[in-house]
Chain A
Amino acid sequence: DAKTTQPNSMESNEEEPVHLPCNHSTISGTDYIHWYRQLPSQGPEYVIHGLTSNVNNRMASLAIAEDRKSSTLILHRATLRDAAVYYCILARSSNTGKLIFGQGTTLQVKP
């Protein structure tokens, strides 16, 4: 399974944008890039996913590099509720939906 690399932790100020990076240099052409987040003592929550083009939804935006070897999750205005562990995951089409979680990035949001 393709590996992703994320910083262990990041800090942000409330109401400022946050850019969470992810490197996935061994990505294959059919791998989808997924982002999930996990709030303390809760199950993971889907955030966004994409294949080649940038994606936007009500929670966040996903910017995918042209060569697809990296991506960035963008939270446009961080709130205290966005403090969580964010996981960048590659989902292979051959994996029948399996998600391989890494250690993720712990995001702290300061008031």
Chain B
Amino acid sequence: NAGVTQTPKFQVLKTGQSMTLQCAQDMNHNSMYWYRQDPGMGLRLIYYSASEGTTDKGEVPNGYNVSRLNKREFSLRLESAAPSQTSVYFCASSEAARSYNEQFFGPGTRLTVL
């Protein structure tokens, strides 16, 4: 099993460009999450999907949109990238959106916005 996979691994954008970060999991998990991590900081939740067909905002949703394409895939879209969105983006999944479920994280996408 690959677990949680993310593409691309690295990306450089110019201000105003758009892009979609892809995430897929092969563990048949119901819940998926998108986090960002700025240098020297902990992770912050952007959006999450408790189950297929639902999405909800996290701590820092502004400037992002998400799509839960199916049970396996959860994408994050930046419509008009800004330098403040330079960060490392992590996708995670869990069996269910419960406080006792562990989350499995992908390897991350390093995004630089010039």
Q: What residues make up the interface of A, taking CB atoms closer than 8 Å to B? A: 30-32, 34, 36, 42-46, 49, 51, 87, 91-93, 95-104
Task: Report if B74 contacts A (CB, 8 A).
Answer: no
Interface residues on B, range: 20 to 34
Question: Which 5 A-B pairs rank lowest in CB-CB distance, beginning with the nearest?
Answer: A101-B42, A43-B105, A97-B97, A91-B99, A46-B102
Establish whether residues A91 and B107, one from each chain, have CB atoms under 8 Å apart when the complex forms.
Answer: no
Q: Looking at A36, A42, A91, A96, which has the most chain B CB atoms within 10 Å of its CB?
A: A96
Establish whether residues A98 and B100, one from each chain, have CB atoms under 8 Å apart when the complex forms.
Answer: no
Partner of B105, one of A44, A95, A102: A44
Q: How far is the CB of B31 from chain A (nearest CB, A)?
A: 6
Q: How far is the CB of B76 from chain A (nearest CB, A)?
A: 15
Kindly specify which of B14-22, B44-52, B78-86 makes contact with the partner chain: B44-52
B107 — which chain A residues lie within 8 A by C-beta?
42-43
